Structures are given as structure tokens and as C-alpha cells.
Amino acid sequence: MVRAEQAGQRHSDLVLPMIDAVLNEAGLRLVDLSGIAFGAGPGSFTGVRIACGVAQGLAFGAGLQVAPVVTLVALAEAAGASRVLTCLDARMGEIYHAAYQRHEEEWDQVSPPVLCLPETSPDVAGDGWVGCGSGFDLYHQRLAAQLGTKLARVETGIYPHARCVARLGAAMLAAGKGVPAEQAVPLYVRDKVALKMGEPR
């Protein structure tokens, strides 16, 4: 069972009613779950804080473990390919970038999450890479020029879906990689959230 919506700025209004709807449809209570997964970032500061705070609050109250799922890994999971370059729009002309390669049912990190310009995205070895995410949607030509023949294709309209976060989180919990609620933290790659007056965009 899945409830998903591109929420824009309505995360805090929608998330708890959607959780209640899924639990009611499944006939479950929070305490019946094995744990709670959330998209830990990188991404919108507000979005990852809300996700973390909701996961912590629910898990703490129900005595559950938490699985912080890196947003870029969830994006790779959504792409349906085995070698994925993930890029999310980080605003201010920058992207969140990482590269992953599937090994059986797990993702190996080839290049860790970084904040960079499209033109300075990290190099990756080999070819056959599939690009996806809002960073590619916005900066396709600039990223393609940087990657050259290593980029096999770009999948448009891919985003880190809730079902991918849930699937990856379930695997983390099954492998004993969950953490207590109080230890769950967002993954911040950027420490600057706005441009100053007169700064180039």
C-alpha cells in the first residue's frame, strides 16, 4: 500500500493524514511495524527536517527503529537501471550528485553525495551510466557535456518515490542497520541556504 503525492510546500499538512490512511487501509497500528523509514536527504532543508522529525516522533512513541534512507539512493532505486548517476536540483545553480551501482539487491556507492555545479560533477569510471533526477531535468546539456560518452541515457521525470524509500528502509531494518529514533538525523550536504544580495545566481 502506498500513498504518494508531489507535495510542494504542503509536506507538514499532508504527511500525518497519509500515514493514518495507509495504516488504516492495512489494518495496522504503529506498534505493529518493524520500523520507520524516511528520506534523510540531501534535499530541501525544510523537507528533510519534516521527514526526520515525523519519523523520530512516531518511532519514539511506538518504540521502533528508524531507517534513514539517502534520498539519492532512493532516486537510483526509482530509475530501474543498474548504474545510475543521480542529480537533484540544489537551487542556486547547483546540484546534489552521487553515483550508485547495483550489486544483486543492494546499491554500492561509487561516488558519495556532494554539492557541486553541473560542470564540476565528479568523474565516474566506465560507461553505460543512466542519469536521472531534477538536476538532469534542469541541466541536461551541461551534465551531458561533463560526462561525455559515459552517459548512456537520461530518464526524465524520475524522483525519489516513497515506495523506494520504504523498500530500501525495509532492507536496512532487516539487515540490522536501523537506528534508535534519537539517533536519526538528516543528511545535510549544503550549509548555505540562500544567496546574498548581488551574488550571481
- Cβ-Cβ contacts under 8 Å for 72 (sequence gap 6 or more): 42, 86, 88, 96, 97, 98, 100, 113, 133, 160
Considering the four listed CATH numbers 3.40.190.10, 3.30.70.120, 3.30.420.40, 3.10.20.600, the one that applies to the domain covering 11-71+160-183 is 3.30.420.40
CATH class, 72-155 region = alpha beta
Q: Rounded CA gap, 25 and 37, in Å?
A: 19
Q: Rounded CA gap, 100 and 129, in Å?
A: 9
Given this model, what pLDDT does residue 7 score? 63
Q: Rounded CA gap, 39 and 165, in Å?
A: 6
Given this model, what pLDDT does residue 198 score? 53
Question: 34 and 170 in contact (C-beta within 8 Å)?
Answer: yes
Residue extents of the structural domains in the chain: 11-71+160-183, 72-155
Domains 11-71+160-183 and 72-155 share a fold: yes
Q: What is the dihedral of CA 50, 66, 43, 26, to 10 degrees?
A: -70
Ordered per-residue pLDDT tens for the chain, 201 residues: 777 776 666 767 889 999 999 999 999 999 999 999 999 999 988 989 999 999 999 999 999 999 999 999 999 999 999 999 999 999 999 999 999 999 998 999 999 999 999 999 999 999 999 999 999 999 999 999 999 999 999 999 999 999 999 999 999 999 999 999 999 999 998 765 444 445 444
**Residue 154: closest CA among 100, 89, 101, 84:** 84
Query: Rg of the Cα trace of the chain?
Result: 17
Q: Rounded CA gap, 168 and 171, in Å?
A: 5
The dihedral region occupied by 13, where left means phi > 0, alpha psi between -120 and 50, and beta the remainder, is alpha
Given this model, what pLDDT does residue 199 score? 47
Q: Rounded CA gap, 118 and 133, in Å?
A: 13
Residue 160 in grid coordinates: 525519489
Given this model, what pLDDT does residue 8 score? 64
